[in-house]
Chains A and B, each alone.
Chain A
Amino acid sequence: MTEDQLILTPNINGADDFYADLLTAHEGLSKAESDALNARLVLVLANHIGKRAILKQALAAAALKPGEDTA
């Protein structure tokens, strides 16, 4: 696996804990507030990744079209 390759195999230590954190972050928020939180989260994570090639693969993977260039 090269570093220009999006990781699509399990990669989070404590997957259940992360998922619980994600739900907790949304607790008590309205739909609009949750949408805003998700949007900010995407932008924060995208900036952390930084690599356009990875981000393109991530957009395709999220669209459930891995391997396609949807961007």
Chain B
Amino acid sequence: MNKIFEVPLYPYAHHTDEDAAAPARRKVVVIGAGPVGLAAAIDLAQQGTEVVVLDDNDKVSFGSRAICFAKRPLEILDRLGCGQPMVDKGVQWNVGKVFFDDRQVYDFNLLPEDGHKRPAFINLQQYYFEEYLVKRVRELQEQGAPIEIRGRNKVSAIGTHPDHVVLEIDTPEGSYNLEADWLIACDGAGSPTRQMLGLDFVGRVFEDNFLIADVIMDADFPTERWFWFDPPFNKGQSALLHKQPDGVWRIDLQLGWDIDKEREKRPENVIPRLKAMLGEDVKFELEWVSIYTFQCRRMEQFRHGRVLFAGDSAHQVSPFGARGANSGLQDTDNLCWKLQLVIDGKAPESLLNSYDVERVHGADENILNSSRSTDFITPKSEMSRVLRDAVLDLSEHYEFARPLVNSGRLSVPCTYDGSPLNSADALDGPERTRPGSSCPDAPLGDGFLLDKLGGKFVLLTIDADAPDVFEEQGIEVTRLALSVKDDKTLALKDRYLGSNDSGVYLIRPDQHVAARRPSFDENQFRHAIRRAIGKE
């Protein structure tokens, strides 16, 4: 039987653009049909913008790769029309166990907060994730949306101009040129786009290697996350065991920096390691093995004229905390509505600079968190190892030490504090919904808040009056009128009002708060809209 990642999902097909006498011009070209590139394309196509995705391959990701998808990206996928199949297929877990040396030191339950449509995160192989995105692309195509994926279209040269880019593309049938008003580079950590444009990729480089294996086994390990520090089967290193759908287990074994990658990948070297970890009697089959080398760094700027970088091409983090694909989806969530407004002539091009400001802030937060995890997991000096081991020894006996144990801080959405798009906070309300925050979900009877917000500018009123529709600078803002009575659990009140009796929120298309006040003030909200689209 063929695995999904062995089947060409977007095989090469000749396109008339290849025969054009003069290069065809497309609105947006996305390079890379991975999770981030596909999400960007779907987002734009849903808004009616013509988008072409180019990929040098024709299949989904080989092996599980990114496996942990957090709540915020799942909410973004809901807006993109494909959150449900991901959640239906994905594995949910709440219990984690931490091992040190030859013993379990403690376990924990994440106890996720109630009143959210989506779980804290799911485990799902990247190939499923991409498959569902490709299905969504096909669905949009059937509805006539201007979106296409061109497989085995490898970009070999890029020319940049003030108002467009020119791409030279190699296909199995030869080369052709294509122009694009805008280019989004989602071509991964080794981004050929970044290299072709000669752009920097700076930061703290950690050299570390992980043996990553997808193992099929009928084992009665519970659906939990198990993390080992310095286990007997991988001395001086770490290990992770995670469950994925279809009885596939994901195992990450840290190998250190000075290794022979090809040698470590050979089954005769991998299998004894796995047996030492899982037990001699456990029967398993290797589905996929890879060596993963990571670094923590980012580009200085994510926008370079008409070229926008998103996902791993712009920033790379260690795998601890699942901040790679998750942050990439937040990049495109942030970028696409802005690009759409610029393309529609409703916002100045400079609005795109806020993509840079906000997502660089997000990348720095992710790099900080994952660097700290790395420093804990792989102590860099003798004393940092002594302190790390002290934390782990104490955690076995005392609860106080457990928050210090750092095997990865799971991805949570970034708050764009200090963003030029925010208006000053005019509500003495909850901290978590201050301007710049991503809106927390809340139950509303038989539905949820975020589904009702959708992907346009919304004026959320809670027990407050305001016009049902109001327009500023060509931006139509529709009102979502709610009352604290709409949510008997009072999550809506707790998350949006705090001790206030009423509140009015201006919410951006990416469901981040732009402004909030206790009541509607037309003049103030007109200012806030202009600010949120880069006109003030």
Residues of A in contact with B (beta carbons under 8 Å apart): 35-36, 39-40, 42-44, 47
**Size range of the chain B interface in the assembly:** 10 to 19
Q: Are B394 and A44 in contact (CB under 8 A)?
A: yes
Q: Are A39 and B401 in contact (CB under 8 A)?
A: no
Interface-centre pick from A35, A39, A42, A47 (highest chain B CB count, 10 A): A39
Could you list 27 A-B pairs, sorted by A, with CB under 8 Å?
A35-B383, A35-B386, A36-B386, A36-B389, A36-B390, A36-B393, A39-B383, A39-B386, A39-B387, A39-B389, A39-B390, A40-B390, A40-B393, A40-B394, A42-B387, A42-B390, A43-B387, A43-B390, A43-B391, A43-B394, A43-B401, A43-B404, A44-B394, A44-B398, A44-B400, A47-B400, A47-B401
Distance of B23 from chain A, by nearest CB (Å): 56
Residues of B in contact with A (beta carbons under 8 Å apart): 383, 386-387, 389-391, 393-394, 398, 400-401, 404
Distance of B446 from chain A, by nearest CB (Å): 44
Number of A-B contacts (CB under 8 A): 27
Q: Which residues of B contact A40 (CB under 8 A)?
A: 390, 393-394
Other A-B pairs beyond A39-B389, A43-B390, A43-B391, 14, CB < 8 Å: A36-B386, A36-B389, A36-B390, A39-B383, A39-B386, A40-B390, A40-B393, A40-B394, A42-B390, A43-B401, A43-B404, A44-B398, A47-B400, A47-B401
Q: Which residues of B contact A39 (CB under 8 A)?
A: 383, 386-387, 389-390
Q: Which residues of B contact A42 (CB under 8 A)?
A: 387, 390
Complex Cα gap A35–B381 (Å)? 13
Q: Which residues of A contact B398 (CB under 8 A)?
A: 44
Q: Which residues of A contact B387 (CB under 8 A)?
A: 39, 42-43
Q: Which residues of B contact A47 (CB under 8 A)?
A: 400-401
Q: Which residues of B contact A36 (CB under 8 A)?
A: 386, 389-390, 393
Q: Which residues of B contact A44 (CB under 8 A)?
A: 394, 398, 400
Q: Which residues of A contact B393 (CB under 8 A)?
A: 36, 40
